[in-house]
């Protein structure tokens, strides 16, 4: 067998058994590259006589074409094999369910806030808001707590540096200043709730320097204490998800209401570490309320001889603790992921009255 025939057999054999594209490329370079075996052969044509070239020219070129075609064919074959293997390994089953578990959760305070918004929206209340940094005037004076009034001592206030005109800004100690803001810009009838952040210099298991309150304000021409009781009762039924709510009213004092009433709800704490709502012989404090003081109405530009109203202020975090059984308030604001996972709510379950508040 001639040298050419041996070379052809060797190269074509190697091409046919090349196992991947890299091996095939190495063969191509070895045969057809600048210094490849076939390239070297072609270079020898130049030094040949015309006769020799006539014989060897077609022979060498034919060899080059055969090898080029064989490499192209094997390359296509290997490409198909690689693609099929990839398709088989990357199969996506589009019928699988969506991601089984979302990572973030809704904070219990946000959950309770959404629940409360749903309840009061159903009763025809709008949501009002005000700033966390508040005028001393709105937080105290216009709520019938003049400068030097002893009631200011009840609120351990965070003060912010005095303004140039001598006035003081504070971090609001309650959501009640939003009553003032609402009355100053809105004419009765008024029906709003104010959920929001409040601040006091206080820190123990049930008090944190920042906490949340829920304020309500209703102003109309014939509003009376019975309306207040009905609203508190309806709210408790919906929020605690019980039918039999028994309320107890205790006389109290707040400078911005007259008369002032604190509300308790019947509950059962006879099983240690547990609390049941609506039954038992124990009482659960809900918070303060009363008929808006005529001085407050007048200071906020509402004619107290024509209009009257009621207001209440409950602790929002406290209600989240009671309803969802969290014993300590401090972890609410510590951002511990383990606590958030345990007490948090699924992000896609928005509370609604008809769908269930706290599924
Ligand atoms: N603002 C009061 C507090 O934080 C709570 C309160 C009591 C609000 C009676 C009211 C109310 O609207 O009528 O201590």
The preferred substitution site among 288, 295, 318 for testing ligand 1, maximizing ligand atoms within 8 Å of CB, is 288
For the stretch 1-24, pLDDT in tens is 478 889 899 999 999 999 988 999
65 and 140 co-located in one domain: no
Nearest CA to ligand 1 atom 5: 313
Q: Is residue 335, in this structure, part of any structural domain at all?
A: yes
294 and 193 belong to one structural domain: yes
Report if residue 353 sits inside a domain.
no
Which tens digits make up the pLDDT trace of 36-58? Answer: 999 999 999 989 999 998 989 99
Residue 24 included in any domain? yes
Let me know: does 158 contact 208? Beta carbons within 8 Å: no
Same domain, residue pair 112 and 85:
no
- Is the same domain home to 18 and 149? no
* Residue 355 forms part of a structural domain: no
Q: Are 11 and 157 within one domain?
A: no
Judgement on whether residues 123 and 241 belong to the same structural domain of the protein: yes
What CATH number is given to the structural domain containing 224? 3.30.930.10
User: Rounded to the nearest whole angstrom, what is the distance from the C-alpha of residue 230 to the centroid of ligand 1?
Assistant: 18
The set of protein residues with a Cβ atom below 6 angstroms from ligand 1 is: 174, 176, 215, 254, 257, 288-290, 311-313
DSSP characters over 79-138: HHHHHHHHHHHT---TTSPSPS--S--B-HHHHHHHHHHHHHHHTTPEE----SEEEHHH
CA angle 316, 322, 325 (to 5 degrees): 125
Q: Measure 252 CA to ligand 1 centroid, in angstroms.
A: 11
pLDDT value of residue 213:
96
Structural domain containing residue 205 = 108-343
Q: Ligand 1 centroid to 176 CA: how many Å?
A: 6
Helices (H) and strands (E) in the chain, counts: 11, 11
Domain end, chosen from 89, 122, 142, is at 89
Mark whether 128 and 277 lie in a shared domain. Answer: yes
Ligand 1 atom closest to 174 (CA): 4
Together in a domain, 68 and 131? no
Residuewise pLDDT in 10s, the chain (359 residues): 478 889 899 999 999 999 988 999 999 999 999 999 999 999 999 899 999 989 899 999 999 999 999 999 999 999 898 899 999 899 888 888 777 666 788 999 999 999 999 999 999 999 999 999 999 999 999 999 988 887 777 678 998 888 888 888 999 999 999 999 999 999 999 999 999 999 999 888 878 999 999 999 999 999 999 999 999 999 999 999 999 999 999 999 999 999 999 999 999 988 887 888 889 999 988 999 999 999 999 999 999 999 999 999 999 998 888 888 888 888 999 999 999 999 998 877 777 777 777 65
The rounded mean pLDDT for the chain is: 91
With a pLDDT cut of 90, the percent of the chain lying above it is: 67
Going by C-alpha positions, the residue among 46, 45, 47, 59 that lies closest to residue 8 is 59
Beta strands per DSSP E along the chain: 126-127, 133-135, 159-160, 169-171, 190-199, 210-220, 247-254, 257-268, 276-277, 282-292, 308-315
Residue 101 inside a domain? The answer is no
Q: Is residue 165 domain-resident? A: yes
pLDDT of residue 359: 58
Residue 152 counted as domain residue: yes
Tell if the pTM clears 0.75, that is, is over it: no
CA dist 205 → 107, 211, 304, 318 (Å):
19, 12, 41, 11
Residues 84 and 174 in one domain: no
User: What's the pLDDT at 187?
Assistant: 94
**Is 326 within the bounds of a domain?**
yes
Question: Do 196 and 69 share a domain, yes or no?
Answer: no
**How many distinct structural domains can be found in the chain?**
2
Q: Based on the fold, state whether residues 80 and 115 are members of the same structural domain.
A: no
């Amino acid at each position: 067998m001639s040298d050419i025939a041996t070379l052809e057999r060797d190269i074509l054999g190697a091409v046919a058994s090349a196992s991947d594209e890299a091996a095939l490329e190495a063969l191509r370079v070895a045969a057809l590259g600048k210094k490849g075996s076939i390239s070297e052969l072609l270079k020898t044509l130049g030094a040949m006589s015309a006769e020799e070239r006539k014989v060897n020219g077609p022979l060498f070129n034919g060899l080059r074409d055969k090898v080029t075609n064989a490499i192209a064919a094997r390359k296509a074959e290997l490409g198909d094999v690689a693609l099929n293997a990839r398709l088989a390994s990357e199969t996506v089953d589009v019928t699988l369910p969506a991601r089984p578990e979302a990572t973030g959760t809704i904070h219990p305070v946000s959950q309770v806030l959404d629940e409360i918004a749903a309840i009061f929206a159903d009763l025809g209340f709008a949501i009002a808001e005000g700033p966390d940094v508040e005028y001393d005037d709105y937080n105290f004076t216009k709520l019938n707590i003049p400068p030097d009034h002893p009631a200011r001592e009840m609120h351990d206030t965070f003060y912010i540096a005095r303004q140039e005109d001598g006035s003081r800004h504070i971090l609001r100690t309650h959501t009640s200043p939003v009553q003032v803001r609402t009355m100053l810009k809105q004419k009765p009838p008024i029906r709003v709730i104010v959920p929001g952040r409040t601040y006091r210099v206080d820190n123990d298991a049930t008090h944190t320097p920042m906490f949340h309150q829920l304020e309500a304000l209703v102003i109309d021409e014939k509003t009376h204490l019975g309306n207040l009781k009905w609203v508190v009762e309806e709210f408790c039924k919906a929020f605690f998800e019980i039918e039999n709510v028994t309320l107890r009213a205790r006389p109290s004092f707040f400078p911005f209401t007259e008369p002032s009433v604190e509300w308790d709800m019947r509950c059962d704490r006879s099983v240690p570490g547990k609390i049941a709502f609506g039954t038992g012989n124990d009482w659960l404090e809900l918070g303060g309320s009363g008929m808006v003081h005529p001085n407050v109405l007048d200071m906020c530009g509402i004619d107290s001889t024509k209009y009257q109203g009621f207001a209440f202020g409950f602790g929002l975090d406290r209600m989240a603790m009671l309803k969802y059984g969290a014993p300590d308030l401090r972890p609410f604001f510590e951002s511990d992921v383990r606590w958030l996972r345990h007490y948090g709510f699924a992000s896609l379950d928005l509370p609604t009255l008809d769908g269930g508040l706290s599924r």
